[in-house]
Amino acid sequence: MKHILKIVAQRIALGFLTLFAISLIITFGVELLPGDLAQAILGQAATPDAVRVFRIELGLDKPAYLRYLDWLGGMATGDMGVSLSNKRQISELVGIRLSNTLFLGGFAALVAIPLALALGILAALYRNSLFDRSINLVTVTSISFPEFFIAYVLILFFAVKLGWFPGISNISTELSLGDKLYRTLLPAATLTLVCVAHMMRMTRASIINLLSSPYIEMARLKGIKPMRIILRHALPNALAPIVNVIALNLAYLVVGVVIVEVVFVYPGLGQLLVDSVSKRDVPVVQACSMIFASVYILLNLFADIISIVTNPRLLYPR
Amino acid sequence: MNNFFKILLSAPFSAKVGMIIITFYLVVAIFAPLIAPYGEYYLATPIAYEVWSSDYWLGTDNLGRDMLSRLIYGARNTLGLALTITILAFLLGGILGMTAAALGGWVDQLLSRVNDVFMAIPSLIFALLILSIFGTSIPYLIGTIVILDATRVFRIARATAMNVAVMDYVEVARLRGEKLGWVIRREILPNIAAPLLAEFGLRFCFVFLFLSALSFLGLGIQPPTADWGSMVRESSTLIAYGDITPLIPAAAIAVLTVAVNFVVDWMLHRSSGLKDVS
């Protein structure tokens, strides 16, 4: 047990080190600009006075390490600074959008994970059958499709031709949960299609990989039913890679939402990020990037910890 | 050469289809000016979003430019850029990865840890951050994606080269006094070429999709250059009227990535030498 705690502690420390390194990259990326940010945004034509005022507004008159500490402290306490384009508090802009994005991602994940696991186990059980082959073909193709292609195909059929669902999913806090789910169904379906394929292939591969090992052979020779072999004998050992893939895909969901949000004009964090990039509203981009990167890293960290504590080899050391 | 064709002919059906599609795209990209009915920037008609007709096979875009011609030129621009980025990423990541594996010690530790940090950042977020700081211009776009992609190449190049670097014949070459460059080029590279080639296909798909996604967001290749991602973006309003024109550039992206994936699947299967466990 001590052994596991040590590995987990190491992994957590590494995760926070990575977060620290990323916060450094996000803040000091600005320093790489020839000249500085104020000059770059205002352009060559700006008067020196305008640049100087803007520089003070951005805090560029202070030394870099002070700015970094200010920024980090602000991020931790929820004061993320002020947007350049509309002078509003970034925390105000981010708050509701973050919960919208998490809602969409969570919705997609709740559908995608059980579906992927079931399909993966079935494909492993009936491998090389027609079912396995056709599902393999479908997943290879859907992995290769750009998200916006899937999104537009869904819009074309379900929103325009059939008119079942709205093609633009503008949700707000006043809507009931049912209404929210209805409006986010198409974006969630797009995300599900993209990440089910990955998860399902991984589940199938890791179970098939295990099925050739001697103890499975033994179980089969004892006459245990195939379904029970997979669920009781293969799955516990395949859990670590599967959990890893699920977390990777959840992390992917958090980032993949950016494009889907733009297609469906969904009021989420991704939309805000893309808008801010085209306006070069650097403080907002920094705040959004840090949030996205943190969620991504924490999910990966979580997955690693789960795969460590569920690993039978570490749980029962010889 | 004869042998090469024999291997090609032994490919499964899906891989053959993939190779035919890839060849078709390459031909279209290379001979774009000869095939396209109009020029890339030519304003063929003052009417925007004209419907499909014998003059404009796929209609016209938001500025009245011929869709088909822009689709054909788009093959050239998007494919060319994606290929350039992938090659640069392989040069950077491959050389660093093999060096790390061959040298070992603190060089390996340093490169690997820096690489881990870069890989921990979601690529789209990293790219958006860089583009917001430096603005959307092609050199920065190339630089950003090359760095992002090189991290993935580094990891696979290092992992595969590690297995080779411990072999006796590499040790012999070292004891013979061969220089690092020689060891990498003559001993390590030939032995990891097959997995790297398959990885090249996968990385190309990734770069291609990534570039299209950025263009679709309006942050990649900038107009008036024809590019499939931005073409989808520019004509996306047509979807609301049930017009499938915006889906065509998107489908062009999808078909190419599927084709490359088919070929890569076959190459991986061949190089692993494994038969399906049954």
Task: Pick the residue from chain A with its C-alpha nearest to B211.
Answer: A146
Distance from CA of A312 to the nearest CA of B (A): 24
Q: What is the DSSP-derived secondary structure letter of residue B104?
A: -
What is the model's pLDDT at position A312? 65
- Which residues of chain A lie closer than 8 angstroms to B217, CB-CB? 258-259, 262, 274, 277
State yes or no: pLDDT of A100 exceeds 50: yes
Domain count, chain B: 1
B120 in A contact zone (CB under 8 Å): yes
The whole-angstrom distance between residue A276's C-alpha and the CA centroid of its chain comes to 19
Kindly report the pTM of this predicted structure: 0.83
- Amino acid identity, residue B255? V
In a domain, B61, yes or no: no
What is the model's pLDDT at position A316? 65
Count, residues in chain A: 318
In a domain, B229, yes or no: yes
What is the model's pLDDT at position B87? 94
Distance CA A43, CA B202 (A): 39
Mean pLDDT score, B148-159? 89
State yes or no: pLDDT of B256 exceeds 60: yes
Residues 21-80 of B with CB under 8 A from A: none
What is the model's pLDDT at position A153? 84
A209·B213 Cβ contact <8 A: no
In a domain, B48, yes or no: no
What are the structure tokens assigned to A107, written together? 């919705």
In a domain, B167, yes or no: yes
B125·A146 Cβ contact <8 A: no
- Amino acid identity, residue A139? T
B130 in A contact zone (CB under 8 Å): yes
With cut-offs at 50, 70 and 90, classify the pLDDT of residue B1.
low
CATH number at residue B248: 1.10.3720.10
Q: Is A243 exposed, middle or buried (0-12, 13-18, 19+ CB in 10 A)?
A: middle
Question: A272-308 burial, b if ≥16 CB within 10 A, otherwise e?
Answer: bbbbbbebbbbbbbbbbbbbbbbbbbbbbbebbbbbb
In a domain, B66, yes or no: no
With cut-offs at 50, 70 and 90, classify the pLDDT of residue B277.
very low
Segment among A55-69, A192-206, B145-159, B237-251 with least mean pLDDT = A55-69
B219·A274 Cβ contact <8 A: yes
In a domain, B158, yes or no: yes
A286 in B contact zone (CB under 8 Å): yes
User: Which domain does B106 fall in, by range?
Assistant: 13-31+74-271
- Which residues of chain A lie closer than 8 angstroms to B242, CB-CB? 156, 160-161
- CA distance readout (Å), A1 to A14, A213, A306, A314: 20, 27, 14, 8
What is the model's pLDDT at position A314? 64
Q: Which residues contact A184 (CB under 8 A, 6 or more apart)?
A: A103, A104, A107, A169, A171, A266
Question: Measured between CB atoms, which of B116, B136, B239 is closest to A155?
Answer: B239
In a domain, B57, yes or no: no
Domains (ranges, CATH) in chain A?
102-278 (1.10.3720.10)
- Which residues of chain B lie closer than 8 angstroms to A32, CB-CB? 133-134
In a domain, B276, yes or no: no
With cut-offs at 50, 70 and 90, classify the pLDDT of residue B275.
very low
Q: pLDDT digit string (tens) for B175-184?
A: 888 888 888 8
What is the model's pLDDT at position A225? 85
Q: pLDDT digit string (tens) for A107-161?
A: 888 888 888 888 888 888 787 788 888 888 888 777 778 888 888 888 888 877 7
Q: pLDDT digit string (tens) for B4-51?
A: 777 777 778 888 888 898 888 888 888 877 777 777 777 767 777 777
The 3 state secondary structure assigned to chain A is CHHHHHHHHHHHHHHHHHHHHHHHHHHHHHHHCCCCHHHHHHCCCCCHHHHHHHHHHHCCCCCHHHHHHHHHHHHHHCCCCECCCCCCEHHHHHHHHHHHHHHHHHHHHHHHHHHHHHHHHHHHHCCCCHHHHHHHHHHHHHHHCCHHHHHHHHHHHHHHHCCCCCCCCCCCCCCCHHHHHHHCHHHHHHHHHHHHHHHHHHHHHHHHHHHCCHHHHHHHHCCCCHHHHHHHHHHHHHHHHHHHHHHHHHHHHHHHHHHHHHHCCCCCHHHHHHHHHHHCCHHHHHHHHHHHHHHHHHHHHHHHHHHHHCCHHHHCCC
What are the structure tokens assigned to B105, written together? 């010690």
- Which residues of chain B lie closer than 8 angstroms to A258, CB-CB? 124, 128, 217
